[in-house]
Amino acid sequence: MAKAVIIGAGIGGLATAIRLAHKGYAVEVFEANTYVGGKLTTFTLGAYRFDAGPSLFTMPHFVDALFELCGEKSQDHFKYLRKEIACNYFWEDGKRLTAYGDTDRFVKEVETVFGVPAPKLLRYLERAKKKFDRTKTLFLEHSLHKWQTFLRKETIIGIANYFSFEIDTSLNRVNRKQLSEPHLVQFYNRFATYNGSNPYQTPGMMTLVQHLEQHYGTYIPQKGMGDISDSLYQLAKRMGVVFHLEHPVEKILVENKKAKGIITKGEQHLADLVVSNMDVVPTYRKLLPNQKQPEKILAQERSSSAVIFYWGIKKSFPQLDLHNIFFSKDYKAEFDAIFKDKIVVNDPTVYVNITSKDIVADAPKGCENWFVMINAPHDSGQDWEALAQELRRWVIAKLNTALGEDITSLIEEEWIMTPNIIEQRTQSYLGALYGASSNNKMAAFLRHPNFSKAIANLYFCGGSVHPGGGIPLCLLSAKIVTELIPKP
């Protein structure tokens, strides 16, 4: 039986393992950590459970598809609920918006709170939908680096509508032009952070991101985000995939310009093909040091990172839900600080995720588990310990004002994640959460392809390569790469 080796058991690696096993390969996965999931993992602090990484779950059909591919029913192994409220938004001038999952209800809420006529917002959302429909074949469903993709009927139609994509202008300019109301502009600018980019630089095509959330909805797994990884791990094992945890890969073996396997703990593991789910930069720098490096791709600007406070809170706040955003006053200054100055501002936008709103066992009765995230620059040598303590003061002050209560004494459990820790735990280059940023209008084309052009039988999946970062795109990368790999 033909053998495939996968480096890394992140969400992309898990999905690729499942798909290759279904295709007929004997699959072995080598993971440096003691657990699977990469960023998508779980831990506890005292009586509180936390999701360590991605906290937004949308487009669950991509997870369902893996179970269905293997002849199983997703709901027998992985259960989730759709949220009525996608997110609560707070502004310092007192404005508050409840973003309902139902589009009609959401549009009415925007009209009531901001005075934006429903037809105006619906036109905006329809434009976003058209962008997605016209570009998904090219950018999301197939390899962007194979000429066959460009010959598809859907791709040709998409290219014919190039100017409707608004690639030559920024997301912020598109939002200001089409919406104008400043609160709503800031609301939609935020979606640039879904791939770690700057709304004042990333192209206007990125309005399609908000279409995805509004159209497909927001969900929560009944056992928390970590259950996405856990359920796929169990599915992979049922498909015969063999996992080697605590096995950091030291080198990819290449002979005569062909990948032949890997070395871990000084031992060779030969294979017919190798798939790296590791960040593409350390894949080349550490595992392929003697091979020609794709310098232009590796030198791209990194995405943003994050500072995350995991707090066990000794109180319940009924005005909050699963997802909550407290906006900064000066959004542009915040992104200038992140991408130009590589620092954090004293008035950051604060995201608070509270899974105990839906999963009561995640916190003691009357308490809540807060995942408090602030967008931050990637690691370029900053003193993160000192910056984290400054941020902690600023964030607490901001939340105190918004909630009308001093939360300092309510924090009974705490752990802090910074960009340098993210890199140490996940091998994400410089702690960037999404690989390269999408601030350049050609960024999608500059992402590393899902295969090596120079080394046969070497493939790539995960958030640092095409089509991008985030759970849905990592799952799509697995689908794309396995479609590129021939049947054994």
User: Per the domain annotation, does 389 fall within a domain?
Assistant: no
The 10s digit of each residue's pLDDT in 81-92 is: 999 999 999 999
Question: Are 199 and 236 within one domain?
Answer: no
Q: Taking 90 as the threshold, does the pLDDT of residue 466 lie above it?
A: no
Question: Are 195 and 236 within one domain?
Answer: no
Residue 149, pLDDT score: 47
Looking at the DSSP assignment, which residues form a beta bridge with residue 83?
A: none
Alpha helical stretches, state H, 217-357: 226-238, 280-282, 295-298, 331-336
Name the pLDDT band for 148 (thresholds 50, 70, 90).
low
Closest to 433 measured CA to CA, from 138, 80, 52: 52
Question: Are 204 and 235 within one domain?
Answer: no
Question: Are 191 and 237 within one domain?
Answer: no
Q: Is 371 helix (H, G, I), strand (E, B) or coil?
A: strand
User: Residue for token digits 């909630």?
Assistant: 403
Mean pLDDT of the chain: 92
Radius of gyration, alpha carbons of the chain: 22
Q: What is the CATH number of the domain that holds 473?
A: 3.50.50.60
The 10s digit of each residue's pLDDT in 42-64 is: 999 999 999 999 999 999 999 99
Instruction: Determine how β-strand 249-255 pairs with β-strand 242-244.
Output: unpaired
Residue 196, pLDDT score: 93
User: Per the domain annotation, does 306 fall within a domain?
Assistant: no
> CA-CA-CA-CA torsion for 400, 401, 404, 409, nearest 10 degrees?
10
Q: How far apart, in whole angstroms, are the C-alpha atoms of residue 157 and residue 218?
A: 30
Instruction: Determine how β-strand 323-326 pairs with β-strand 350-353.
Output: antiparallel
In whole angstroms, how far apart are CA 319 and each of 316, 357, 463? 9, 11, 34
Q: Taking 90 as the threshold, does the pLDDT of residue 17 lie above it?
A: yes
476, two tokens: 């799509």
The 10s digit of each residue's pLDDT in 218-273 is: 999 999 999 999 999 999 999 999 999 999 999 999 999 999 999 999 999 999 99
Specify the number of domains making up the chain: 2
Question: Are 192 and 287 within one domain?
Answer: no
Residue 171 belongs to domain spanning: 104-208
User: Per the domain annotation, does 388 fall within a domain?
Assistant: no
Residue 468, pLDDT score: 85
Name the pLDDT band for 167 (thresholds 50, 70, 90).
confident
